[in-house]
Amino acid sequence: MLNTPEASGTPENLDSPSPIRLLELRDTPLSLDEVYAAVGDDTAGGTTLFVGTVRNHDGGKPVTCLEYSAHPTAEAELRRVAEKVVADFPVRALAAVHRTGRLEIGDTAVIVAVSCPHRGEAFAACRQLIDTLKHEVPVWKHQFFTDGTEEWVGAC
């Protein structure tokens, strides 16, 4: 887990401390307020958040619940992804949290947020963050269907 203090927002310290404010995989409910607070920055004109929730269907089949599991390297990979986003965009603050364990329909599975000087940059950075996280961070979803079948998603 990484949870660092917020920058003071003065122009003198835009590069310090790190804009990566919160990175974590956790087995407890996620907080939108916590993530939003983590990316607060007086130098940012745009903040974008993405919230991923457990839906009640997948591939035309009704889902009852799911379980997320993560490889021991997942947080290190999440950091690598976050650092790439920070390198590619003028990020003032970034946060990403992903849930593990059993989740019910409607539960929040992932929240990512990015603050940048302008809204276009914030949207693009947030999209890169969630898309790369979903493709490269080793977190796997085990879905359970109402017909008693199940499947793994994202597992090698």
CB 36 within 8 A of CB 49: yes
User: What are the helix and strand counts (H, E) for the chain?
Assistant: 3, 10
CB 128 within 8 A of CB 90: no
Q: pLDDT > 70: what percent of the chain? A: 88
The CATH number linked to 123 is 3.90.1170.40
| Residue 47 is assigned to a structural domain of this protein | yes
| Residue 5 is assigned to a structural domain of this protein | no
Give per-residue pLDDT as tens, 108-147.
999 999 999 999 999 999 999 999 999 999 999 999 999 9
Give per-residue pLDDT as tens, 5-43.
333 333 333 455 899 999 999 999 999 999 999 999 999
| Number of domains present in the structure of the chain | 1
| Residue 1 is assigned to a structural domain of this protein | no
| Residue 12 is assigned to a structural domain of this protein | no
| Residue 124 is assigned to a structural domain of this protein | yes
pTM recorded for the entire structure? 0.88
Q: Among residues 156, 138, 115, 149, which one has the least CA distance to residue 69?
A: 138
Give per-residue pLDDT as tens, 36-52.
999 999 999 999 999 99
| Residue 106 is assigned to a structural domain of this protein | yes
| β-sheet bridge partners, residue 109 | none
| Residue 101 is assigned to a structural domain of this protein | yes
Question: Domain of 49?
Answer: 19-153
